[in-house]
């Protein structure tokens, strides 16, 4: 990738397998009278490390090491892809990792067992504390504080990573991804009008939206919310961007920055998907060999296909879906699919 002389990136660890491929989904596109659908395969950033969090953690972990940290503390849902990526990268770099996990219930007394991401967290040797959802939500900052002091008192140097590594440092990962996408588009000779992705903690959206403005890529980024409202994500994305401004002393934001979120496809709630999402997951797997998950990419992909049917992308020749990973979350919900 050619370095962009206009952007002064901070230090980064090269941890992901980059660049990821950009591929057309032609059998699927032919079933809709709409644009050609492309997919940026960020599910291929590595094997068990799969997904979007590695791009953010390349910058986050570089900062942690620069500060002399030897222990990573982060949090998420019990099937968090971000926590799994942190656990595996911690093992790769020889750092201690402590995960603070929020227990999720699927309803009907079903809960997610030792499967998927949680299984990999244990396998990678992470320290794991699981809290009931209500307690986790009420005490999150207190829990970070408690565990941080615990490690400090042992003589360790903890580094705290927020949910999804979405903060002023993590968002560099998707600012940089925009540069990679520009190379992909040039090679494929396309000018996609829209970039679509699942939004969960806002960092991917912050990086992509800001990245397009900084790199002057004329494509509209659309985040499809998997949990909270569009208004929530507008605030969260702008908070990450202002954290980025203050950490890196960026005086002004590019005038073309715009943040667009659709919250029509959340369904029953975070980590819960309706039957239409599972139907899309099955269809896309069988038709294109592309595997989506029920928590993020399946929901967002289903949203994108619905928007195509509604004519939302009618003016566009090409659109790009960012596949942000999440496969292990599908295994954890295998009971939701029947064959
Ligand atoms: C975390 C995650 C997202 C959402 O990214 P954010 O930056 O947290 O908004 C999307 N897809 C997958 C598979 C994820 O793990």
Q: Is the CB of 170 under 6 A from ligand 1?
A: no
Cα(144)–Cα(149) distance, rounded to whole angstroms?
9
Residue ranges covered by each domain of the chain: 22-51+167-336, 53-165
CA 29 distance to own-chain centroid: 24
Based on the residue annotation, tell me whether 80 is a catalytic residue of this protein: yes
Cβ-defined contacts of 182-188 (< 8 Å, 24+): 182/215, 182/217, 183/1, 183/2, 183/19, 184/19, 184/22, 184/40, 185/22, 187/22, 188/22, 188/24, 188/38
In angstroms, how far is the first alpha carbon of the chain from the final one?
Answer: 43
**pTM reported for the whole predicted model:** 0.96
CATH of 53-165, picked from 3.40.50.720, 1.10.1470.10, 3.30.360.10, 3.40.50.1100, is 3.40.50.1100
What pLDDT is stored for residue 12 in this prediction? 98
Nearest residue (by CA) to ligand 1, atom 8, is 201
Q: What is the mean pLDDT of residues 238-251?
A: 97
Q: Is the CB of 296 under 6 A from ligand 1?
A: yes
Q: What is the DSSP string of 27-61?
A: HHHHTSSSPEEEEEEGGGS-STT-STHHHHHHHHH
Q: Does residue 200 surpass a pLDDT of 90?
A: yes
What pLDDT is stored for residue 6 in this prediction? 75
Q: Is the CB of 79 under 6 A from ligand 1?
A: no
What pLDDT is stored for residue 104 in this prediction? 76
Q: Is the CB of 81 under 6 A from ligand 1?
A: yes
Q: Is the CB of 117 under 6 A from ligand 1?
A: no
Do 22-51+167-336 and 53-165 come out as alike in CATH topology? yes
How remote is the CA of residue 155 from the centroid of ligand 1, in Å?
Answer: 33
What pLDDT is stored for residue 239 in this prediction? 98
Closest atom of ligand 1 to CA, residue 166: 7
Report the percent of the chain where pLDDT is more than 90.
93
Pairing mode of beta strands 105-107, 110-111: antiparallel
Cα(90)–Cα(175) distance, rounded to whole angstroms?
23
Closest atom of ligand 1 to CA, residue 199: 9
Q: Does residue 75 surpass a pLDDT of 70?
A: yes
Nearest to 192 by CA among 5, 19, 303, 29: 29
Q: What is the mean pLDDT of residues 218-222?
A: 97
Closest atom of ligand 1 to CA, residue 163: 8
CATH of 22-51+167-336, picked from 2.60.40.10, 3.50.50.60, 3.40.50.1100, 3.40.50.620, is 3.40.50.1100
Q: Does residue 83 surpass a pLDDT of 70?
A: yes
Give the other-Cβ count within 10 Å of 206's Cβ: 32
How remote is the CA of residue 200 from the centroid of ligand 1, in Å?
Answer: 5
66: three-class secondary structure by DSSP: helix
Q: Which of 29, 50, 69, 80 is catalytic?
A: 80
Tokens for 193, please give them. Answer: 């009008």
Q: Does residue 180 surpass a pLDDT of 60?
A: yes
Q: How many residues does the chain have?
A: 339
Helices (H), the chain: 26-30, 53-66, 81-93, 116-123, 133-153, 172-188, 203-215, 230-247, 275-288, 297-309, 327-332
């Amino acid at each position: 990738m050619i370095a962009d002389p206009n952007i002064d990136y901070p230090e980064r660890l090269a941890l992901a397998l980059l660049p990821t491929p950009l591929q057309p989904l032609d059998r699927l596109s032919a079933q809709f009278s709409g644009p050609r659908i492309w997919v940026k395969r960020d599910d291929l950033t590595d094997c068990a490390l799969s997904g979007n969090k590695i791009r953010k953690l390349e910058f986050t972990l570089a900062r942690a090491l620069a500060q002399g940290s030897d222990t990573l503390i982060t949090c998420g849902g019990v099937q968090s892809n971000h926590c799994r990526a942190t656990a595996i990268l911690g093992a790769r770099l020889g750092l201690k990792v402590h995960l603070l996990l929020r227990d999720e219930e699927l309803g009907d007394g079903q809960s997610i067992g030792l499967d998927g991401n949680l299984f990999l967290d244990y396998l990678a040797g992470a320290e794991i504390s699981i809290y009931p959802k209500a307690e986790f939500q009420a005490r999150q900052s207190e829990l970070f504080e408690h565990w941080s002091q615990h490690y400090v008192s042992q003589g360790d140097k903890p580094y705290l990573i927020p949910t999804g590594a979405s903060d002023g440092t993590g968002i560099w990962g998707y600012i940089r991804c925009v540069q990679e996408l520009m190379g992909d588009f040039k090679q494929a000779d396309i000018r996609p009008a829209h970039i679509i992705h699942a939004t969960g903690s806002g960092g991917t959206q912050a990086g992509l939206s800001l990245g397009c403005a900084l790199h002057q890529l004329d494509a509209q980024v659309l985040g499809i919310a998997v949990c909270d409202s569009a208004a929530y994500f507008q605030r969260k994305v702008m908070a990450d961007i202002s954290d980025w401004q203050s950490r890196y002393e960026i005086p002004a934001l590019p005038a073309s920055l715009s943040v667009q979120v659709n919250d029509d496809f959340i369904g029953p709630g975070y980590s819960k998907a309706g039957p239409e999402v599972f139907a899309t997951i099955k269809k896309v797997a069988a038709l294109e060999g592309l595997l989506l998950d029920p928590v993020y990419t399946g929901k967002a992909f289903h949203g994108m296909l619905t928007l195509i049917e509604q004519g939302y992308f009618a003016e566009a020749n090409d659109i790009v879906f960012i596949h942000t990973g999440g496969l292990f979350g599908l295994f954890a919900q295998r009971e939701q699919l029947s064959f």
